[in-house]
């Protein structure tokens, strides 16, 4: 039985968290620039690039979960 997640799974968990926060920041940060500003185009390019990275990490995480499974609950916890 598996007792803990691997370091790769933990890394992916926190990397996904950071990417989601970054993507929200990029989305809302665009509002600080006037329409047509070249910075807005750069922000959207970054948003798309990091979004694709997020999708790749999600796929990687799902594959790892399918291959390795998940740790069981501690003995003292009920399954409710």
What would the pLDDT profile of 36-78 be if each residue is shown by its tens digit? 889 889 999 999 999 999 999 999 999 999 998 888 877 788 7
pTM above 0.85, yes or no: no
Query: At 61, is the secondary structure helix, strand, or coil?
Result: helix
The string of pLDDT tens digits covering residues 2-39 is 788 899 999 999 999 999 999 999 999 888 888 888 98
pLDDT computed for residue 72 by the predictor: 81
Give the mean pLDDT of the chain.
91
Q: Which residues of 44-69 are buried (b: 16+ CB within 10 A; e: fewer)?
A: eeebeebeeebeebeeebeeeeeeee
Unique residue bearing structure tokens 């694709």? 52
């Amino acid at each position: 039985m598996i007792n803990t997640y691997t370091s790769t799974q933990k890394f992916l968990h926190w990397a996904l968290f950071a990417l989601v926060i970054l993507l929200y920041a990029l989305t809302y940060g665009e509002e600080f620039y006037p329409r047509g500003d070249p910075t807005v185009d750069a922000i959207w390019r970054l948003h798309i690039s990091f979004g694709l990275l997020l999708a790749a990490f999600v796929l990687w995480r799902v594959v790892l979960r399918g291959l390795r499974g998940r740790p069981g609950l501690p003995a003292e916890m009920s399954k409710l």
